[in-house]
Chain A
Amino acid sequence: MKRKDFLQLSALGVGAAMIPKWALAGNPIDPLVALQERMDVGMKKQLADVALNTAKSKGASYADVRIGRYLNQFVATREKQVQGVANAESFGVGIRVIANGAWGFAASNNVTKEEMVRTAERAVAVAKANAKLLTEPVRLAPQKGFGEVSWKTPIEQNAFAVPVKDKVDLLLKVNDIAMQAGANFVNSVIFAVNEQKYFASTDGSYIDQDIHRLNPSFGVTKIDRSSGKFETRSSFSSPVGMGYEYLIPSAAEKVNGIVTRYKNRYDMLEDIKNAAADVDQKLKAKSVEPGKYDLLLDPSHLWLTIHESVAHPTELDRVLGYEANYAGTSFLTLDKWKSGNFHFGSKHVNVVADRHQYGSLGSIGYDDEGVPAKEWDLIKDGVLVNYQAIRDQAHIIGLKESQGCCYAQSWADVQFQRMPNVSLRPGKDKLSVDDMIKNIEKGIYIMGNGSFSIDQQRYNFQFGGQTFYEIKNGQIVGMMKDVAYQANNQEFWNSCNAIADSRDYRLGGAFSDGKGQPTQLNAVSHGCSTTQFKGINVINTARKIG
């Protein structure tokens, strides 16, 4: 948006406070469009050059600058009321340098030429202090500069341009449906993110990006007062790298079955109806008998298992020990990769990393150190074949260039290795979920993500879910509860014996995946089709207190 447009919209905004409440509701342009005010790209380039030149003159051998404006909008409701409507805006600059062979970083919320100089100087000073403890200088994989380029999430409708009233109306309607269906409590939220990021480096790149994410969700609760028990069900939506179009239902994007699930368009009003009915069933469901079951895992559930058990252990920084003090290391050590013969999973298991799937949270044009979006295999026919790397790690696994996995959650944080989208490829042969159910004698069909926990090297995990259907002799016979499964990671993926074909493929995702010290959040998607695992240990989680 140009500066002139912004001034006009601001004027509208001023007027908005003076006119009667809700009079703006029908206006196609919400005054909050003003949030899209952007600093002119030419100005950003000038400021970035000041920082890059300062860093070089102070002795930096490499420098990058990220000028970022980060916008969040949050609309939260419960039952009949709006709990909060908030817009957050954060603008600033982060400068990263290599000096005397060591990294240094400094950030400031004051984006002026003078502050660019000071911040670049601070970054160089930090690098020089760190260089005293250096054992090996940083080796940065080469990256050609792209000159002045730009990239934008392919959205159809900017969520920040949709009137707040529309969002509130949708959420209160969701809540009303739940309450009509006998819910005791319901919370619903729409969370929109826009990262306006400008990256420049001494490699000669000046990259302007406009990245959009949306996360609509709800949770519904019913209480059985007599027993004091309650059950909940959360939405089967996914956080997405899309605009508000995700919330416009489309029959073509629905996956029908025992309950409706969703691909690239979400029907929140339908899902809440189904959720309220699910909670009724959960309250009456039988408690699971612990033991071995075949698991049929829906993408609304399996994305999280992929995230924890495949995506995290293939992060190269974990493998190398950089995360040893917090997130942990990885059982997928370099010797296993070098052997070329480490069977992470069965032959059905093919896992791919990418930064460009439509609608995904990890979709970008360039990462936060100027590397373009790519795609590569992590697990091929069950065998570990690659990791996720950034520029200063590429040489360790013999790569000539980075895979583009560098990300910082804001201008104030230093960028480091974060996971791209990591997805399980669908089955190659035609196979429907109904066909899979027919082949299961004793199983549990799990939807939605629940409790999750995994050790610091990613060997042992435990996952819950939202809803659990018992499968007996090829048929779904009813709902179960108190279900969690525990497994050894490698054994689990080697027990994978069927994957539905691409017709069932969907993305799930984590809107706020934490890693690093200080902790930073990353948003990432994981795609898969419904997948079957044979003979997995299921425990019963029911307990009694008081």
Chain B
Amino acid sequence: MAILTREDAKALLEKVLKYSKADECEVGLNGSESGNIRYARNAVSTAGDISTLGLSVTSYFGKRSGTATINEFDDASLEKVVKRSEELAQLSPENPEYLPLMGPPATPFKESPGFIPATAAMTSDQRADFVGKSLGVTKAAKLEAAGYIENTAGFGSYLNSKGLFGYTKSTDVIFSVTARNAEGTGSGYAARGFNDVRKLDTLSATKIAATKANGSVDARAIEPGKYTVILEPVAGVYMLENMFRFDARSADEGRSFLSKPGGGNRLGEKLMDEKVTIYSDPFNADLPGNTWTRDAQHLEKTNWIEKGVIKNLSYSRFWAQKKGVEPVAGPPNIIMEGGNTSLEEMIRTTERGILVSRLWYIRMVDPQTLLLTGLTRDGTFYIENGQIKFPIKNMRFNESPVIMLNNIEALGKPERSISVESYRSYLVPPMKIRDFTFTSLSDAV
């Protein structure tokens, strides 16, 4: 069993630390039990059941450090990995940014609410049943489905030679499905992610994918250019994910979109529309996150952008000391506040625009302006006079989320949504954005 209890994890970490001869030592132990099933062409293609447990040891001699990892746990292997980290530390030069390890915090770390036993207990038969429900929808609709379900139960634990100990465990289940017609002229997608598998409904999600697949047949080409877009959460979050690095150091160093021309960072500056508030909160019931750091920090609700103003940046202990501020840990999760406009209302109030179901292959073009490029995919529709008129061919965009968040027309209710690249979950609203820049057409379906 790769999910160790708090007590068992601590006992193993303490055993490892006993082998340490270094000035300081820190040890991390992570494990997961996961299962997955993948299907395509209306049948299961691969499936697996994977159990992992890994140990990481970092040893310090003065300002020198070295790290070694291993996944074998007999006494000889534990001793070996500690020694190896010590050898590496001895061979490394001094790190001028070294700071001593932290001891335990004044108050104990709070527990994260992210572990749901029902998700951890999922079996290969249950996963196959979920797939069966999804395939029932696509077969009835005469479509082909390709999809994926993965459930993971994992834990992370940490102990250092100053006595700081942390433990967290969580569960996660993700589901995504693409429905396509046999001719290859229509494609639709849906994705879901939860901590609690009891919230997963593969049947209703597949129905959405099937509706989009059938609705996207006979797509017409329109001229690329600037359009009002309505981004469904799964599309919007993939764009915004590229912006969720609120790091002070890279900003101060002059190499981030948060750098101020002439030096310093944009903390306190209004950079976006005042409808934009982005925060992290590990205790959010819909998106629980980790509650502690190896630097003895408690993670609590933190606003990163408040009404369009850059409210906080993360500072490592080293950078905080250099800048004379308190360290701020990076976000354990990301939540964007929304508004009250439903997707239907957004469409009804659009004179001429595009409904975007999903975005694809987003890459950074210019980190200074966060200019991104990517394409629409799996259901792109032209809106005129408040109605969806017809499906359109996919298009490539070149747009910055910073510019985009200055052009907000309306926001809907935040939904838990997964990024189609990182599979991380976020809470983001549907967004209506004006002047979104499309630069070329694609024949892809």
**B402/A546 in contact, CB under 8 A:** yes
With both beta carbons as reference points, the residue of chain A lying nearest to B34 in the complex is identified as: A518
Known interface pairs A86-B67, A455-B375, A455-B442; A484-B46 also in contact (CB < 8 Å): no
**A126/B87 in contact, CB under 8 A:** no
Q: Closest Cβ of chain B: how far from A542's Cβ, in Å? A: 7
**B442/A460 in contact, CB under 8 A:** yes
Distance between Cα atoms of A87 and B127 in the complex (Å): 36
Asked if B10 CB lies within 8 Å of chain A CBs, one says: no
Per DSSP, are chain A's interface residues mostly helix, strand or loop, or mixed? mixed
Q: Which of B159-167, B226-234, B360-368 contacts A (4 or more CB under 8 A)?
A: B360-368
With both beta carbons as reference points, the residue of chain A lying nearest to B49 in the complex is identified as: A106
**B91/A325 in contact, CB under 8 A:** no
Asked if A151 CB lies within 8 Å of chain B CBs, one says: no
Asked if B389 CB lies within 8 Å of chain A CBs, one says: no
* B314 contact set on A, CB distance < 8 A: none
* A230 contact set on B, CB distance < 8 A: 254-255, 368
* A31 contact set on B, CB distance < 8 A: 87
Q: Which of B259-267, B298-306, B326-334, B408-416 contacts A (4 or more CB under 8 A)?
A: B259-267
* A87 contact set on B, CB distance < 8 A: 67-69, 84-85, 88
Asked if B268 CB lies within 8 Å of chain A CBs, one says: no
Asked if B148 CB lies within 8 Å of chain A CBs, one says: yes
Q: Closest Cβ of chain B: how far from A338's Cβ, in Å? A: 15
* B176 contact set on A, CB distance < 8 A: 325-326, 517
Tell me which residues from 481 to 506 in chain A have a Cβ below 8 Å from any Cβ of chain B. 482, 484, 486, 488
Known interface pairs A81-B97, A459-B444, A460-B441; A325-B147 also in contact (CB < 8 Å): yes
Number of interface residues of B (CB under 8 A): 108
**A133/B43 in contact, CB under 8 A:** yes
**B364/A325 in contact, CB under 8 A:** no
**B43/A135 in contact, CB under 8 A:** yes
* B41 contact set on A, CB distance < 8 A: 135, 320-322
* A323 contact set on B, CB distance < 8 A: 40, 146
Asked if A59 CB lies within 8 Å of chain B CBs, one says: no
The answer, among B42, B131, B400, for a CB contact under 8 Å with A545, is: B400
**A32/B92 in contact, CB under 8 A:** no
Known interface pairs A321-B146, A456-B361, A545-B257; A32-B84 also in contact (CB < 8 Å): yes
Asked if A383 CB lies within 8 Å of chain B CBs, one says: no
Residue among A81, A102, A462 having the largest count of chain B Cβ atoms under 10 Å: A462
The answer, among A24, A104, A168, A459, for a CB contact under 8 Å with B442, is: A459
**B64/A21 in contact, CB under 8 A:** yes
Asked if B83 CB lies within 8 Å of chain A CBs, one says: yes
Distance between Cα atoms of A458 and B178 in the complex (Å): 17
* B400 contact set on A, CB distance < 8 A: 543, 545
Q: Closest Cβ of chain B: how far from A86's Cβ, in Å? A: 4
Asked if B323 CB lies within 8 Å of chain A CBs, one says: no
With both beta carbons as reference points, the residue of chain A lying nearest to B85 in the complex is identified as: A87
**B377/A455 in contact, CB under 8 A:** yes
* B423 contact set on A, CB distance < 8 A: 519
Known interface pairs A133-B39, A228-B260; A223-B255 also in contact (CB < 8 Å): yes
**A184/B253 in contact, CB under 8 A:** yes
**B271/A134 in contact, CB under 8 A:** no
**B84/A13 in contact, CB under 8 A:** yes
Known interface pairs A333-B184, A517-B38; A228-B394 also in contact (CB < 8 Å): no
Distance between Cα atoms of A517 and B150 in the complex (Å): 9
| Mask: chain B, 241-276; 1 = CB below 8 Å from A; 0 = not | 000000000000111010111110010010100000
Asked if B341 CB lies within 8 Å of chain A CBs, one says: no
**A86/B68 in contact, CB under 8 A:** yes
| Mask: chain A, 223-242; 1 = CB below 8 Å from B; 0 = not | 10111111010000000000
| Mask: chain B, 49-80; 1 = CB below 8 Å from A; 0 = not | 11111100000010011111111100000001
Asked if B196 CB lies within 8 Å of chain A CBs, one says: no
Distance between Cα atoms of A329 and B378 in the complex (Å): 12
**B69/A88 in contact, CB under 8 A:** yes
**A331/B444 in contact, CB under 8 A:** yes
Tell me which residues from 79 to 101 in chain B have a Cβ below 8 Å from any Cβ of chain A. 80-81, 83-93, 95-97
Q: Closest Cβ of chain A: how far from B369's Cβ, in Å? A: 4
Q: Closest Cβ of chain B: how far from A227's Cβ, in Å? A: 7
**A322/B93 in contact, CB under 8 A:** no
Asked if A541 CB lies within 8 Å of chain B CBs, one says: yes
With both beta carbons as reference points, the residue of chain A lying nearest to B209 in the complex is identified as: A325
The answer, among A91, A125, A172, A457, for a CB contact under 8 Å with B445, is: A457
Tell me which residues from 166 to 215 in chain A have a Cβ below 8 Å from any Cβ of chain B. 168, 172, 184-185
Among all A-B residue pairs, the 7 with the closest Cβ atoms: A228-B261, A460-B442, A324-B146, A457-B444, A455-B444, A325-B146, A86-B67
Q: Known contacts A88-B69, A107-B49; can you find 11 more A-B pairs with CB under 8 A?
A: A25-B91, A32-B88, A82-B93, A85-B91, A185-B253, A225-B262, A226-B261, A325-B148, A451-B363, A460-B442, A545-B369
A-B contact pairs, 13 of them (CB 8 A): A13-B84, A14-B83, A82-B92, A323-B146, A455-B377, A456-B377, A460-B396, A462-B373, A482-B366, A518-B34, A519-B423, A543-B403, A545-B370
